[in-house]
Structure 1
Amino acid sequence: MSIEIKMPALSPTMEEGTLAKWLVKEGDTVKSGDLLAEIETDKATMEFEAVDEGVIGKITVPEGTDNVKVGTVIAVMAGEGEDVSAAAAPAPTPAPASTPLPPGEGQGAPAPRGEGEREKTATPTPAPSPVAADAAPPSPGGRGEERIKASPLARRLAAEKGVDLASLSGSGPNGRIVKADLEGAKPGTAPAAQPAATTPTPSAPAPAAAPAEHKPVWWDESIPHEEEKLSNIRKTIARRLTESKQTIPHIYLTLDIRLDALLKLRGELNKALEPRGVKLSVNDLLIKALGVALIQTPKCNVTYTGDKLVKYSRADVSVAVSTPTGLITPIIRDAANVSVSSISTQMKDLAGRAKEGKLQPQEYQGGTASLSNMGMFGIKQFEAVINPPQGMIMAIGAGEKRPYVIDDSLQIATIMSATGSFDHRAIDGADGAQLMKTFKELVEAPMGMIA
């Protein structure tokens, strides 16, 4: 039987994506693990792997197509022993008397839809609630077969061998059972087939909220210009920053920090780490300082959810990285407890792959607070926008020589300004001030954060 390849959800927040590039063509033979396409999600451009074996019979969504909904059939693959031309052939139109398919099922790539599309695609006459044609009967113990993640080929082979899919552990994406998982599986353990009976009507899903319409913006077309289509990443940045500024009451706290002790320690550590090929940056040490400060000031390591306050016992610091397609924030997990050499190594790897668009979702989604450093651009001070659902972000300015009072005398020191942006719904000003004070103390006496 032919296998439908559908638009995958490559991140928890992904609802649609751009099919940037096909890496296979019709007639190509693929096996599990082969790369099929490059897909631009709301965060990055990621590679999509095959989970089944077969021959690409037909590509239904051409590369470069925008706004492809998750679950849309983007290609059809012929299974083992199946004629490729048969797999590529369009499915026959069902007779009017047959049970209608749910809107969007088996229709290939749907046209862009808006509010009310469900009414447009529904059948004109009342009919019983539709049931998916390939819904599997429930297995013993009340566990429905439809709840077991398995490829169509794996399901067919399991049925032929008499293997209960519930007894297997999947090695595919998100624990999906693929053909390789059936090798060595003992036959005869599949539950007895249930006789055809009235299938319970599935509850209708809640209609998705219609996306807000963009109001037209006037601009002077008489000025020489060019227009650039927004990428999914840029759209996500615009949406999330707008959401942050509209829904989170920001409070900003700024202080000056003396860097001389940290710069001295950095030089000593780099000399010691040189044989290992590790070179610390000032930013690596600031990530460590923020992680330790968050643990020492737990009231700032929180998320406001509307009806409760989530208090984190670990500090995962998201670090802003500029890429050709926009800003992304890879995460240093447990920044307070990992070594600065590990932070440095991780950041070089994460930043490099971020600029290539090769980060995995778990590497940039989450985090308990963020750090954004624009000092390398000579920016003296700025106020960063909180990255929801986090409760704060630290903005780092440039270190520069300034007059500074040391031991009651005016001297020249290397000073940087740091500004904390706090979610005032969850973090009081006094608590934010305590975190800023702790951060300053750690930077000015850095041995305390690495001891």
Structure 2
Amino acid sequence: MAELIKMPRLSDTMEEGTVATWFKKVGDKVQEGDILAEIETDKATMEFESFYEGTLLYIGIKENETAKVDVPLAIIGDEGEDIESILSDSLSDNKPEEKKSVESPNSSQAPGDNQKAEIAEQKAESKVVKEKDESSRSSEIIKSQRIFISPLAKKLANDKNIDISAIQGTGENGRIIKSDIENYKETVVQPQVQPTIASLDNQDYSEINHSQMRKVIAKRLSESKFSAPHYYLNVELDMSETILFRKQCNAIPDTKISFNDIIIKACAVALRNNPSVNSQWFDDRIRYNNFVNIGVAVGVEDGLIVPVLKNADKMSVAEISKSVKEMAALARDKKLTPEMMQGSTFTISNLGMFGIESFTSIINSPNSVILSVGAIIEKPVVKDGEVVVGNTMKLTLACDHRVVDGLTGAKFLQALKPLIENPLSMLI
């Protein structure tokens, strides 16, 4: 029996997804566990595997198309199986963005007839897979599925060498009709006067469409910045003992910890003792969390994602180090699961490895704070009345003033500072 596969909800906040890549085409055999496609969500690009075995009979969302959750994505079943009954209820109600199907020559055709035409076309695709060259077949399929056009208008457009994708149809359901082709010809052939702006024609640039991740980053950070009243607290730390502690730890066989691992552990301890900062803002309430889940910002090719260390206050520095390395590798390989990116109560962003001395971050809502970590800088400092060479690091705490007042934020940094400056104190 054929199985309908819908656009999956791959994260708790996902509303729509974009098919980045199809690894199977119509007519291919599919085994349970095979990777069907890469789907770009609001958090990451994830591989989507098949839970069924059979032949790929239908693809409802093409590459680079975006669709809402639960829109028909594909159908897997026995070769030659009738899929009309599966699509009849869902196809007309759930169309992916930019996706259109071929309309019958009869302009008064009923929706059910349109669906039959598209289903028949999908079946034809399965057969053509074995007979035609892949590149030319794919080109024809994409063109035919995305444009509503009458046969007469299509013939006229071909005769006049007009690109029908640039035409806005005025017929029923946006269908391109004969007059659209004629009117388009009349307007397009008119010469257009180009503005004479010196030097602009000689400048080169490139443009790319917004990825799903970039659109969500823009949306959420804008919402956070313009809804949460941010303020910032800065503190400078003496890192001399921290450097020594890390050196001693890394002298132990099979141990490799970073300064960020130490900072994560210190934040976890400080949050456990300062629950007012381990909080979240919602429209009708403030939540004070009794658990400590720390999100660690990781830069990837498409943007920024934040895998979460669950119950970080119960982990040792070595355990934190191991978990962070594993999650960072999964993030860069696009293997993070939705569960690994949910539930943070506090976020850390570290640009110190790039030599950035200090910076401010935008709060990862609904959390009430985010900590920005700068580089360790060697510079003259005063100790015991003498100027000596020291190693310092700056932290910046961004706070949501609706939840965390200045005194609360200051007390948190006051508790955090000695933990980082003297990591041995966390072991007592």
Q: Specify if TM > 0.5.
A: yes
Match for residue 123 of structure 1?
none
The answer to whether structure 1 residue 72 and structure 2 residue 85 are counterparts is no
* Identical amino acids, percent of aligned pairs: 38
1:241 maps to amino acid: L
- The 3 A distance-change label for structure 1 pair 221 and 302 is farther
Counterpart contact for 1:315–1:333, Cα < 8 Å:
yes
Match for residue 22 of structure 2?
22
Match for residue 327 of structure 1?
304
Q: After superposition, what is the alpha-carbon deviation per residue over 1:93-115, rounded to whole angstroms, capped at 9, x for unaligned?
A: 98xxxxxx5xxx233861539xx
Counterpart contact for 1:76–1:87, Cα < 8 Å:
no
Aligned pair partner of 2:213 in 221, 228, 233: 233
The answer to whether structure 1 residue 112 and structure 2 residue 97 are counterparts is yes
Counterpart contact for 2:23–2:37, Cα < 8 Å:
yes
- The 3 A distance-change label for structure 1 pair 234 and 264 is same
Alpha-carbon separation, structure 2, partners of 1:60 and 1:443: 53
Aligned pair partner of 1:387 in 339, 364, 383: 364
Q: 1:32, CA displacement in angstroms? A: 3.1
Q: After superposition, what is the alpha-carbon deviation per residue over 1:275-304, rounded to whole angstroms, capped at 9, x for unaligned?
A: x2x311111101111111111111100001
Q: After superposition, what is the alpha-carbon deviation per residue over 1:331-371, rounded to whole angstroms, capped at 9, x for unaligned?
A: 12222220111111111111111112211111112211111
Match for residue 333 of structure 2?
356
Unaligned runs of 5+ in 1: 95-100, 114-219
Q: After superposition, what is the alpha-carbon deviation per residue over 1:148-203, rounded to whole angstroms, capped at 9, x for unaligned?
A: xxxxxxxxxxxxxxxxxxxxxxxxxxxxxxxxxxxxxxxxxxxxxxxxxxxxxxxx
Match for residue 432 of structure 1?
409
Aligned pair partner of 1:306 in 283, 304, 320: 283
Q: After superposition, what is the alpha-carbon deviation per residue over 1:263-283, rounded to whole angstroms, capped at 9, x for unaligned?
A: 1011111112x2x2x311111
Q: After superposition, what is the alpha-carbon deviation per residue over 1:117-164, rounded to whole angstroms, capped at 9, x for unaligned?
A: xxxxxxxxxxxxxxxxxxxxxxxxxxxxxxxxxxxxxxxxxxxxxxxx
The answer to whether structure 1 residue 46 and structure 2 residue 26 are counterparts is no
1:76 maps to amino acid: I
RMSD over aligned Cα atoms: 2.1
Counterpart contact for 1:300–1:432, Cα < 8 Å:
yes
Match for residue 377 of structure 2?
400
Alpha-carbon separation, structure 2, partners of 1:68 and 1:266: 48
Q: After superposition, what is the alpha-carbon deviation per residue over 1:2-60, rounded to whole angstroms, capped at 9, x for unaligned?
A: 22111111111111111112222223333433322111111111111222332222223
Q: Number of matched residues?
A: 327
Counterpart contact for 2:65–2:96, Cα < 8 Å:
no
Counterpart contact for 1:374–1:398, Cα < 8 Å:
yes
What is the TM-score normalised by the length of structure 1?
Answer: 0.69
- The residue correspondences of 1:180-219 to structure 2 (distance < 5 A) are none
More helix by share: 2
Counterpart contact for 1:73–1:108, Cα < 8 Å:
no
Match for residue 225 of structure 2?
245
Match for residue 8 of structure 1?
8
What is the TM-score normalised by the length of structure 2?
Answer: 0.72
1:341 maps to amino acid: A
Q: 1:411, CA displacement in angstroms? A: 2.7
Unaligned runs of 5+ in 2: 99-198
- The 3 A distance-change label for structure 1 pair 419 and 71 is same
- The 3 A distance-change label for structure 1 pair 92 and 330 is closer
Match for residue 422 of structure 1?
399
Q: 1:410, CA displacement in angstroms? A: 3.3
The answer to whether structure 1 residue 447 and structure 2 residue 424 are counterparts is yes
Match for residue 199 of structure 1?
none
Alpha-carbon separation, structure 1, partners of 2:86 and 2:233: 65
Aligned pair partner of 2:80 in 58, 80, 85: 85
